[in-house]
Structure 1
């Protein structure tokens, strides 16, 4: 079985820069990475086991580049900066396709691609804007937050954006509507990172005080659970799978954490003391986890063996399954039961609101371009067909849960980290 040292030995050489890397993005299908630097430059590299090749460099902004993101097929690249500009660039050449200036009243701080045409930006004073490449101006502007937007996540199935910020609030937005869908209680701590897990039923949020909080979809008033143990702020989160994340902390360490049951499973990378992690992301083939910090480099951590071990355990199983499950604490069992209860409640709410949601969606689709209906069926058919699909999914999930309980031990593929 692989060890942490094995992973380090198999990692690629760091990609070093002369300036700090503020943000980066990995290509969705090729070994290509684009980095946004603090001096406003954007660099594109093809990474490899023997060497890294620089493909192009562009001086895109006068001030720091604070975010980069590929469109779904990787052919184009979005970038945002402190000088309030947004660029759409050609990935192969680095040439600008479209430029928007003075897009916000305050410096941009975060960027998230939503689909093939749309993306979201957040600024230093809490304003979020939704953009459509087919239109010049923002299609939505949200102003509920009072401090910087630190991070955002998106649920395509709900057409909903989840945002966290320095004001200590979590917010959710149906991007087809002008008003906030839900706003959390004030957490008394800066919220710095967010990812959706458990097939979108949970949001995991990292804070300045080093606490991971777990939120249930549709119940955004307060978190349902929290994971303590990080000694410093959690500035970045990367989803490994629906039950596992990696966290990047201001102590320079990258940790593996499982969600429900909640547990730490070791450190897979370390940029060094006083070298906070700014961003972490998986490569398209899930072989490497890439991270950037304050040491002016991108570092590659070999994590492919984690997924290999997961597949091996699903095939082979473990004879001591029941013994391992018996060792789970009552607190973790309560968390899992709560997770299941939340799923059941969410399902009931969705069924009750199907008719109203369909009517709202049709009105919104007529008002805003760029949103495609998931079905060509008539309005009369949609509620019943959706309920049938949900019932089939519910039965499938039940069968998968029973099979998983019999044949695999939860999260054991991280036990040797």
Structure 2
């Protein structure tokens, strides 16, 4: 129902509001910790809420009863973000420990059917890739925002890390959104990623001429990410996938696997515009890209060991685990260290 607004409180209360009325329309109290994210399922008119109490709940807003129609088991970790893929048949949920849980709607909401490790810190934000973005399987690729400050592109089923889209330094990424638009863009920081830009406002006095010019220009897909560094970073999403595909001999592995597995695969890496990365396969063996020589690897590892500061999550009260991520930023490049996923 497009006229309804859902809000979640820090105490776990979910409220539905009708902007045409002053009072709250409906209240749900099945959660006892903060509400972190919502997902709307239009086919069933259902609202899914994730909570810091480690559970998710499904509410049918057409029902007169202020009770959820489904409530998952305790996942033993804070659930922080949620998004749907593969025609809303699969639901991805980001957690505090960096694992992405997969729920299959056909098998119910009681428990997840698979878990995907790979992120060194919490997955605070999830976002779909629109169908109009060229060179990517949008039905199985998502953008993730983590407490280590990275916005990543991740392909699900089969699972692999596509690359790092944007970098907020050591500041956690809170929200991600993708939109289509036009505008002039220029680099604002010397340490920005190859596509990390900000929109430069036009000073054209002739508004009609500007609007006509905008409509005549080809639009691009942009991803905006907001972090604790109090900045909005705009990244050319098309450019990122284009260069990633070029680094993979012009193709992306866009296979799909609808079969659920009992054990989640780690994020397997691929060298692209954002540098080399590695992953863990089903058998647990490490795989690496041979484009980097051993000498460069040793230099990177020595540099990482000499650093005192590591990425850390902010504004979280739970104990943090040691980060195994590493960023090495040049003037206009972002490199993910080869040891990024070794311990997963």
TM-score interval (norm. to shorter): 0.5 to 0.7
CA 1:290–1:235: 2 relative to 1, 3 Å = same
Q: Which residue of 2 is the match for residue 158 of structure 1?
A: 44
TM-score by length of structure 2 reads 0.57
Q: What are structure 2's unaligned runs of at least 5 residues?
A: 130-137, 182-219, 262-269, 275-344
Cα contact 2:90–2:103 (8 A) shared by 1: yes
**For 1:265 and 1:121, how far apart are their aligned partners in 2?**
33
SS in 2 for 1:187: coil
- Say yes or no: does 1:222 pair with 2:144: no
**For 2:76 and 2:143, how far apart are their aligned partners in 1?**
24
Q: Which residue of 2 is the match for residue 197 of structure 1?
A: 85
**For 2:149 and 2:241, how far apart are their aligned partners in 1?**
24
**For 2:243 and 2:166, how far apart are their aligned partners in 1?**
19
Q: Which residue of 2 is the match for residue 187 of structure 1?
A: 75
Shift of 1:307: 6.5
- Say yes or no: does 1:292 pair with 2:226: yes
**For 2:112 and 2:273, how far apart are their aligned partners in 1?**
30
Q: In angstroms, what is the RMSD of aligned CA positions? A: 3.0
Match of 1:337 among 238, 259, 274: 259
SS in 2 for 1:120: strand
Pick the structure with more helix per residue.
1
* Aligned ranges 1:14-413 → 2 under 5 Å: 115=2, 117-177=3-63, 178=65, 179-218=67-106, 219-240=108-129, 241-273=138-170, 275-285=171-181, 287-305=221-239, 336-338=258-260
CA 1:281–1:414: 2 relative to 1, 3 Å = farther
Shift of 1:311: 11
Cα contact 1:306–1:414 (8 A) shared by 2: no
Q: Which residue of 2 is the match for residue 30 of structure 1?
A: none
Cα contact 1:288–1:302 (8 A) shared by 2: yes
Q: What are structure 1's unaligned runs of at least 5 residues?
A: 1-113, 340-412
CA 1:160–1:414: 2 relative to 1, 3 Å = farther
Shift of 1:217: 1.4
Cα contact 2:55–2:79 (8 A) shared by 1: yes
TM-score by length of structure 1 reads 0.48
CA 1:291–1:159: 2 relative to 1, 3 Å = same
Cα contact 1:205–1:214 (8 A) shared by 2: yes
